[in-house]
Structure 1
Amino acid sequence: MTAFVLVGEVFTGGWIWDDVADRLRGTGAEVYAATLPSGPGADLEAHVRHIVDLIDGVTGTPVVLAGHGYGIHPVLGAADRRPERTARIVHVDAGMPQDGDPALKLVPDEAVRERLLRQGDDAEPVAPPASPEDWTRWGSTEGVPAAALERLTRQAVPHPPRTLTAPLRLTGAYAKVPTSGVLCVANGTSIELVQALVGLGDPRLQALSDPRVSFFELPTGHWPMLSAPGELADALLGAAAGEGLRLTPPGAEPPTHLRPFLLDLPERPRERHGNTDLYIPDGATPERPAPAVVFVHGGPVPAGAAPTPRDWPAFTGYGRYAAGLGVVGVTLDHGLHDLDGYPDAADDVRAAVDAVRADPRVDADRIALWFFSAGGLLSADWLAAPPPWLRCVAATYPILAPLPNWTTGSRFRPATAVRAAGRLPLVVTRVGRERPEIAVTVEAFLTEAAACGSAVEVVDVPGAHHGFETIDHTDEARAAVADAARRVIGHLRA
């Protein structure tokens, strides 16, 4: 027999788990759905103590602690104090806070984050969304029935601010407890995405490939207890039984980003200038400067990763390919080391572009920017105010709007910025086997671009995956790279 302690997201109480709890009890499990203290003076310590008291009230039965969103913070705090009583920790569409992290760090509502950072301990309680539509500021509501969303709005209560601003204190004892993650794809996280991040070598994520860690995936938004209660109950039962998918540890096989480029290209010399590499085409001189394409990688790529993106086969391949076509290929390393790093990365890209334009072998009036994957969000600044020398913006398997659970803010939203792009030529390479959470951002961008009359050209690769240049060595994929390059260089030479 198993006892489940279920801890919900901000604004909610134990009632939000009703359907899940009924299904769990139907299997013979004990269920304790927490309603955390919600008075203005409540802090994170009060929430942790509340969960500890629930654990202490369970006798003779292993306890599975499940935290949804904010709820993972008091769950981890309680598991750290009662590791011997905790059979498993389950992150239900929740982050991975570490010792010293405030819950505010993972709050997706930008306005709430900024207000609490500004007001600190003097902040008023955080008001819940006033209408069903407003809940999207706290995560995807995909799949939630209208009646359930209305009930959520009606029964939500203000959330005490000090539970969000206080740092989570952990001794590390919780790390001995087996862990599971229930990922909600429509809210921006999938097992495939997590595996890709682990493959990049981020030391903060290496624990996720431990055999004691398992994953489940639900094709729904941030509120699975409302949108998919049966599937969530099954995942919780599976987690309690030690089931779920395990990740491939780093080094077990070559990560996809370090596999060979799909085109067999001759070696070309490159010049390294700080964080930027130049691939100069034959014949480019100060007297006959050549256009340039700046290739901007995605991420987040952990600080200290080796090799860095400009040495990945895909980007050395694109740099050599561009030079072979008669334009300067530019690759760079930028500061997108975590989701808070977009401003630093944007500064790095702008500095690299300025340096490239200052090179006498480069035609400063003919520059293209080509963004990849999560680097697509960095296109927003250039779409919002395109300079006259920017002849084209390209994006390959891009993320073109922040995923629902990302905290990147309002600045990096290409799907909004495209309204100001005017007739700037845009080339988007869309892969048919894209991760669902990313594909919706591309469609949102294309819909907005069509509505405002932007000059978008789409290169479709139906059989290709995200990162296809080192995964799909097919004629279709090779043709897509050649087609996209032809279009970009055509705009440079126009």
Structure 2
Amino acid sequence: MTVFIMVAGAFTGAHVWRETAALLAAAGSEVHAVPLTGLDADRPAASASVDLETHVADVIAAIDAVDAGSGREIVLVGHDYGIHPVLGAADRRPLRVARVVCLECGMPQNGVPALAAVPDQEVRARLAERARHGECEGELAPPSRDEWQRWGSVAGLSDAALDRLTALAAPQPLGTLLQPLRLTGAVASVPTTGVLCTRNGVSIDLVQRLVDFGDPALAALTGPQVTFFELPTGHWPMLSCPTELADVLLRAAVGEGRRLRPVGAGAPPAHLRPFPLDVPELPRDRRGQVDLYVPDAAGPRPAVVLVHGGPVPAGARPTPRDWPTLVGHARLAAAEGMVGVTFDHRLHDVADYERAADDVTAAVELVRADPRVDADRIALWFFSGGGLLTSDWLAKPPAWLRCLAASYPVLAPLPNWGLTGSRFRPARAVAHAGDLPVVLLRAGRETPEVAATVEAFVTAAEDCGARLELVDVPNGHHGFETLDAPEETRPALLRAMRSVATHLTG
């Protein structure tokens, strides 16, 4: 028999597991939803000093209450914030725990507080400032009914479920978010399963792409004891699809799930596959943070500055400016008589858009200052998660920006990015684009979450009369240049590049 010990996320308590727990029990499992001190009504705080260690102790007590001689295997399930006390407890009872299930959360590391995983960046910044001043006591008020979206996608939640989530929400003790997680390393021996909810912006394929970037910190996710599942719902699957969640948990308990491919195993990762067009092998000219691919042509030439997507882990090697897709576009631009430019920016995390935007500005300034470049004829071309960086250029396009292009872009923050109040909102910014031509390459088989942001942008552009040209790749996936058959992508790439060239030289 499996014993599921389940720990809820921020502002919630044992009540959120009611339906899932009943389904697991009906399947023959023993289930304990852990009431957390200071969050659950039946476990009030004895003092104001509730912190992460308090909740670790709550979970340890639940583990110790299971008879060690019964032969029953314990599976710890942590949702959202709940993974922090789960890992803290598993680290101290590694021989008692058969598996840890990370439900809609990352894998926190030793010394990192739960605050680092708070998706609402305004809240994160405010609490970090309090922590710097030693103000670690008190509580964080729970979201109102309309604010839950700032903490994760509410996709799949009925009105009744959202009402229930709101009515039973409790203030989160600040110590639980600000106290660092302490791990000895013992938990590393415990098998782990990640359950990802795709409507919240994360999929197994996305995690595989992050691993493929080569960041050593993510290598552990490819271990034989690590499996993954995904559910097509938002951040609270125990309320939106308890039947499907119960099924996944039962399968996880017996070691099922998809495993990730280690770096270097099998075919090259998608971002390192060849560019689909034959382009001249033009050498790069590395000048500081930018690489220029300069055509053999007289006089200053227009330039196309290619802005890679992300987030890309800081440890990724090679870095984006050397990826075949970016280099291929730069050489294609040179073949069309323009200077192609690649560079690396610091979008390593969704919290990095501000500094990535500064990096784009700095790269453009460096390019415009090069004597081989016509400073008054510049195009910017954005890819994937770099699409949010179009906002500043759409909102106030300078006279020298003659065209803006984007390939399979993300054009609104995804639900788990915590950027609700940020300026990175291309669909709003496009109303101020004026006569700036926008060339948008749209993947017909884009992920639903990203496709929704693209369609919202297209609608906004059409409503304001923006100069939008759509270049469709009907059978293309996100990152189609190296994922899909060359015959599917070549016509679109050529058409888009030549359209950009026309805007730069016309």
Q: TM-score range by the shorter chain?
A: over 0.9
The code of the aligned residue for 1:388 comes to A
Question: Are 1:263 and 2:277 matched, yes or no?
Answer: yes
The structure 2 residue matched to 1:184, chosen from 175, 183, 197, is: 197
Between the aligned partners of 1:261 and 1:428, the Cα distance in structure 2 is 19
The code of the aligned residue for 2:408 comes to Y
Residue 378 of structure 2 contacts residue 401 of structure 2 at CA under 8 Å; is this kept in 1?
yes
Task: State the shift of 1:122 in Å.
Answer: 5.0
Which secondary structure state, in structure 1, belongs to the residue aligned with residue 61 of structure 2?
Answer: helix
Instruction: State the partner residue of 1:19.
Output: 19
Question: Are 1:51 and 2:59 matched, yes or no?
Answer: yes
The structure 2 residue matched to 1:474, chosen from 486, 492, 499, is: 486
Question: Are 1:108 and 2:108 matched, yes or no?
Answer: no
Task: State the shift of 1:106 in Å.
Answer: 1.2
Query: Which deviations, in whole Å up to 9, do the C-alpha atoms of 1:343-379 show, x marking residues without a partner?
Result: 3322222111001101122111111100111111222
Instruction: State the partner residue of 1:424.
Output: 436
Which secondary structure state, in structure 1, belongs to the residue aligned with residue 416 of structure 2?
Answer: coil
Between the aligned partners of 1:454 and 1:164, the Cα distance in structure 2 is 44
Between the aligned partners of 1:303 and 1:454, the Cα distance in structure 2 is 36
Task: State the shift of 1:315 in Å.
Answer: 1.4
Question: Are 1:150 and 2:163 matched, yes or no?
Answer: yes
Q: Pairwise CA RMSD of aligned residues?
A: 1.6
The code of the aligned residue for 1:169 comes to R
Instruction: State the partner residue of 1:273.
Output: 287
Query: Which deviations, in whole Å up to 9, do the C-alpha atoms of 1:118-172 show, x marking residues without a partner?
Result: 22325641111222x2211111000111111111111111111111111111111
Question: Are 1:162 and 2:162 matched, yes or no?
Answer: no
Corresponding pairs, count:
490
Residue 214 of structure 2 contacts residue 315 of structure 2 at CA under 8 Å; is this kept in 1?
no
Residue 12 of structure 1 contacts residue 35 of structure 1 at CA under 8 Å; is this kept in 2?
no
Between the aligned partners of 2:5 and 2:381, the Cα distance in structure 1 is 48
Question: Are 1:439 and 2:447 matched, yes or no?
Answer: no
Task: State the shift of 1:302 in Å.
Answer: 2.7
Query: Which deviations, in whole Å up to 9, do the C-alpha atoms of 1:171-205 show, x marking residues without a partner?
Result: 11111100001110000100111111111111121
After superposition, residues 46-445 of structure 1 pair within 5 angstroms as 46-59=54-67, 60=70, 61-120=72-131, 121=135, 124-131=138-145, 133-253=146-266, 254-285=268-299, 289-407=300-418, 410-445=422-457
Task: State the shift of 1:491 in Å.
Answer: 1.7
Between the aligned partners of 1:256 and 1:98, the Cα distance in structure 2 is 28
Deviates more, 1:435-444 or 1:50-59: 435-444
Query: Which deviations, in whole Å up to 9, do the C-alpha atoms of 1:14-54 show, x marking residues without a partner?
Result: 11010000000001111111221125531111011100111
The code of the aligned residue for 1:454 comes to A
After superposition, residues 22-33 of structure 1 pair within 5 angstroms as 22-33=22-33
Query: Which deviations, in whole Å up to 9, do the C-alpha atoms of 1:40-97 show, x marking residues without a partner?
Result: 5311110111001111111122110111111111111111111111110001111121
User: CA 1:114–1:338 in structure 2 vs 1: closer, same or farther (change >3 Å)?
Assistant: closer
The code of the aligned residue for 2:176 comes to T
Which secondary structure state, in structure 2, belongs to the residue aligned with residue 89 of structure 1?
Answer: strand
Between the aligned partners of 1:333 and 1:222, the Cα distance in structure 2 is 32
The structure 2 residue matched to 1:42, chosen from 34, 50, 61, is: 50
Between the aligned partners of 1:460 and 1:80, the Cα distance in structure 2 is 50
Instruction: State the partner residue of 1:3.
Output: 3
Task: State the shift of 1:407 in Å.
Answer: 4.1
Residue 13 of structure 1 contacts residue 36 of structure 1 at CA under 8 Å; is this kept in 2?
yes
Between the aligned partners of 2:123 and 2:237, the Cα distance in structure 1 is 23
Query: Which deviations, in whole Å up to 9, do the C-alpha atoms of 1:300-329 show, x marking residues without a partner?
Result: 323343322222111111111101101111
Between the aligned partners of 1:299 and 1:404, the Cα distance in structure 2 is 16
Gaps of 5+ in 1: none
Residue 259 of structure 1 contacts residue 313 of structure 1 at CA under 8 Å; is this kept in 2?
yes
Task: State the shift of 1:448 in Å.
Answer: 2.9
Between the aligned partners of 1:109 and 1:452, the Cα distance in structure 2 is 30
TM score, norm. by length of structure 1: 0.96
User: CA 1:304–1:30 in structure 2 vs 1: closer, same or farther (change >3 Å)?
Assistant: closer
Residue 202 of structure 1 contacts residue 301 of structure 1 at CA under 8 Å; is this kept in 2?
no
The code of the aligned residue for 1:174 comes to V
Residue 150 of structure 2 contacts residue 418 of structure 2 at CA under 8 Å; is this kept in 1?
no
Residue 310 of structure 1 contacts residue 331 of structure 1 at CA under 8 Å; is this kept in 2?
yes
Instruction: State the partner residue of 2:42.
Output: none
Between the aligned partners of 2:136 and 2:325, the Cα distance in structure 1 is 50
Which secondary structure state, in structure 2, belongs to the residue aligned with residue 457 of structure 1?
Answer: strand
Which secondary structure state, in structure 1, belongs to the residue aligned with residue 202 of structure 2?
Answer: coil
The code of the aligned residue for 1:251 comes to G
The code of the aligned residue for 2:51 comes to D
Gaps of 5+ in 2: 39-44
User: CA 1:447–1:167 in structure 2 vs 1: closer, same or farther (change >3 Å)?
Assistant: farther
How many percent of aligned residue pairs carry the same amino acid?
61
Between the aligned partners of 2:209 and 2:447, the Cα distance in structure 1 is 11
The code of the aligned residue for 1:362 comes to V
Between the aligned partners of 2:218 and 2:259, the Cα distance in structure 1 is 13
The code of the aligned residue for 1:19 comes to E
Between the aligned partners of 2:296 and 2:500, the Cα distance in structure 1 is 19
Which secondary structure state, in structure 2, belongs to the residue aligned with residue 392 of structure 1?
Answer: strand
Residue 120 of structure 2 contacts residue 417 of structure 2 at CA under 8 Å; is this kept in 1?
no
The code of the aligned residue for 2:377 comes to R
Which secondary structure state, in structure 1, belongs to the residue aligned with residue 142 of structure 2?
Answer: coil
